Amino acid sequence: SAALTSKVMKIAFIEKMEDVIENDSEVTHFDLSQSVTEVILSPIKIKLKIDSADVETSYHPVVQSGGDYDLKLTAESNKNILKPDIIIASIGARYRSYCGTITRSFFVDAPKRIVEIYAALLQTHSRCADSLRSGVPLKEVMAAAHNFLKERYASLIPHLTRTLGCALGLDFKEK
């Protein structure tokens, strides 16, 4: 599922997004999301030799841009036109009952402040990764994120989402 999701992101989303931006084309978030779904359901389109009967989406792909972002797991693509600024794409595919998800942020002439905030979040991500150990409850990983932000970037704490993401497994949302 991870290989499928990664390849769909690279070929079905990134290449299409780049084409839209480079050619000043217009496509809605929803339409781009639909085209990604079609590739997930028919992996032969990206030269993956896996049976399409073993594949489905974990959730409908989410594409967002233009300053209107919803970072919740329940987010959906809207009918707004893709804007070349800050683009967020989230894709989830299920292969033989296993789910893989990937979310990426793309900056196209993003404001300097946004790039700085993103760098802070990457540092926070590294702290979280350092906290991940067998037997360590995930709430301690969340606490590490909060503590790091509190020390260095306290102004970002109110904007932190309730969860820090998801993982690979049988269920899209596990407790």
pLDDT for 5-44, tens place per residue? 999 999 999 999 999 999 999 999 999 999 999 999 999 9
- In angstroms, rounded to a whole number, what is the distance separating the alpha carbons of residues 140 and 146? 10
Which is nearest to 59 in space by CA: 175, 174, 172? 172
Helix, strand, coil percent values for the chain (each to nearest 5)? 45, 20, 35
State whether residue 101 is helix, strand or coil: strand
pTM of the model: 0.85
| Alpha-carbon dihedral sign for residues 36, 40, 41, 47 | positive
Phi, psi of 100 (to 5 degrees): -130, 135
| Distant-in-sequence, close-in-space partners of 65: CB < 8 Å, separation ≥ 6 | 29, 80, 82, 83, 84, 85, 86, 87, 88
Q: Each residue of 133-152: pLDDT tens digit?
A: 988 888 899 999 999 999 99
CB-side exposure of 151: number of CA atoms within 13 Å? 9
User: Which pLDDT value is given to residue 161?
Assistant: 81
Distance CA 128, CA 143 (A): 9
